[in-house]
Amino acid sequence: MTYKDEVIKAMELLARDKRVLFLGQSVAFPGSVVFGTLGTIDNSKKIELPIMEEAQAGMAIGLSLKGYVPVSIYPRMDFMWRAADQLVNHLDKIDEMSDGKFKPKVIIRTLVGSKTPFYPGLQHCSDYTDVFKLLFKNIDVVKLEKKEDIVPAYENALKSSKSTILIEISDLYNSE
Amino acid sequence: MSIEDIKNKSKEDLIDYLIKFEDEIKELYLSGKIRSPVHFCKGNEEHLIDIFRNVKEGDWIFSTHRSHYHALLRGIGREWLKQEIMENKSIHINNEKYNFFTSAIVAGALPIAVGVAEGIKLENSKEHVWIFVGDMAAETGIFHECVKYARKQNLPITFVVEDNGLSVNTPTQESWGKEDSGENVIRYKYERVYPHHGCGQWVTF
């Protein structure tokens, strides 16, 4: 089993929960490594979105307020800064600023872009895990450095009452 | 109180109801009993009353830092609202029983409202989403993204722009520039030959 196989297994586990929806770019159409990890998931559970990272983050919050568990996917961690406003000012704070009346729970899946054998450029392979851990007060941030951690981490994210950001490492995808 | 109770009142009675509440909050504010920002709504009664005639029980309201009238017209009790304001939460009035959500980030609630509307569409329910923004929010990029996406996806959402011409004290249209900004854009269509990156053939390293 490779790292990627474990990611696929984790996505299948999430998809068995009827509340789960996968949203982002390349969830239903090929375009990034993400598409290949969702191949066994029924298209009815996918919402292919245009590039609008902040709106995507907000939509995920809205879907969670309606009872869904959105898995909001950003294929490269660099792109998450464009969603940061919604994550910092809303997802991280809504529970507190509504006195616990609204409790959005979103699973965010992102990847540190691979650097080898093909270098994608400075804006496509950054790892901001440490910064994110400092940035969020109420969102768990989990970096998936070992393949055996992947399924349990996604399972925990699904069970948790909190939102979770899970960070995959593209350079490990083919490792056994 | 329900939204139907509100709708059963005459327009004159509702204007009176809103303004009396606003005046009471103003008194408290001036006496120093509220120690956080309060954004008063006076002058915005009539349009809102007309719009809320179309809001139904179960609908979602997304509002801003200036939410008192929206809350009252949604049927949220005045004493509960007053208490929240007294507890310095005027810019964060949230009430899940009334599907009432606010954000004090300009344009911040827009995509959240769109997400709720997406959820309503997915479950094929009859709820509707109403989102209220100011005129500066309506000029932001994310406003246009949300309006365009919602329209093309036929989502059950109505965007309401409350245009008082000012963002804090910045004249919205003057700061954006009043002239038509379309002339500096060139747009053309083409068909790509290769995929997004690479040339459609695997390269072995």
User: For tokens 């179309």, what's the residue?
Assistant: B54
CA–CA gap between residue B112 and residue A60 (Å, rounded): 7
Interface of B with A in 74-113 (CB under 8 A): 92, 94-96, 101, 103, 105, 108-113
| Residue B150 touches chain A, beta carbons under 8 Å | no
- Residue where the block lists tokens 């005639």: B53
Mind listing the pLDDT tens digit for each residue in B16-51? 999 999 999 999 999 999 999 999 999 999 999 999
Token pair, residue A135, equals 């940035």
Indicate the Cα dihedral angle B134, B138, B139, B141, nearest 10°: 130
**Alpha-carbon distances of A20 from A68, B122, B127, rounded to whole Å:** 6, 12, 21
Q: How far apart are CA B25 and CA B34, in angstroms?
A: 9
CB A54 within 8 A of CB A21: no
Pair of tokens at residue B111: 């995509």
Chain B's closest residue to A103, CA to CA, is: B96
Closest Cα to residue A24, out of A68, A66, A79, A78? A79
SS3 A89: helix
Q: Which residues of B touch A21 (CB under 8 A)?
A: 122
Count of H helices and E strands in chain A? 7, 6
Contact across the interface for A65 and B113, Cβ inside 8 Å: no
Among residues B197, B128, B132, which one has the least CA distance to residue B156? B128
**Contact yes or no for B105 and A68 at CB 8 A:** no
How far out from the chain centre does Cα B107 lie?
8
Burial bucket for residue B178 (CB in 10 Å: 0-12, 13-18, 19+): exposed
* CA atoms of A109 and B103, how far apart (whole Å): 25
Single out the residue of B38, B39, B58, B48 nearest to residue B18, CA to CA.
B48
- B11 pLDDT band, cuts 50/70/90, is very high
- Whether the pTM exceeds 0.90: the reply is yes
- Does residue B64 contact residue B112 with C-beta atoms inside 8 Å? no
Using one digit for the tens of pLDDT, what is the confidence trace for A52-93?
Answer: 999 999 999 999 999 999 999 999 999 999 999 999 999 999
CA dist., res. B141 & res. B74, Å (int)? 28
User: What is the phi/psi pair of residue B200, to 5°?
Assistant: 90, 5
Q: Does position B190 have pLDDT exceeding 90, yes or no?
A: no
**pLDDT for res B2:** 82
Say how many Å lie between the first and final Cα of chain B, rounded: 69
- The two beta strands, B100-102 and B129-134, are unpaired
Average pLDDT along chain A:
97
pLDDT at A129: 98
Contact A51, A73 (CB under 8 A): no
Q: Encoding tokens for residue A30?
A: 């090929």
Strand order from edge to edge, sheet including A139-143: A46-48, A20-24, A69-74, A107-112, A163-169, A139-143
Q: B73 touching A, CB under 8 A?
A: no
Chain centroid to Cα A165, Å, comes to 6
Among candidate residues A99, A65, A91, A64, the one with its CA nearest the CA of residue B99: A65
If you measure CA to CA, which chain A residue comes closest to B90?
A97
pLDDT on residue B180:
67
Give the chain A residue whose CA is nearest to the CA of B146. Answer: A55
**B108–A62 CB contact, under 8 Å:** no
Which residue in B has a C-alpha nearest to residue A50's C-alpha?
A: B149
Please compute the mean of the pLDDT values over residues B155-174 and round it to a whole number.
94
Q: What are phi and psi of B81, to 5 degrees?
A: -65, -45
pLDDT at B179: 67
Beta carbons of A59 and B112 less than 8 Å apart: yes
Confidence of residue B110 (pLDDT cuts 50, 70, 90): very high
B5 touches chain A (CB under 8 A): no
Binned at pLDDT 50, 70 and 90, residue B184 comes out as confident
pLDDT given for residue B183 in this prediction: 76
Q: Residue A95 half-sphere exposure, CB side, CA atoms within 13 Å?
A: 15
Q: What is the DSSP string of A3-62?
A: HHHHHHHHHHHHHTSTTEEEEETTSSSSSSHHHHHSTTS-GGGEEE--S-HHHHHHHHHH
pLDDT value of position A108: 98
Residue B195: what pLDDT?
A: 85
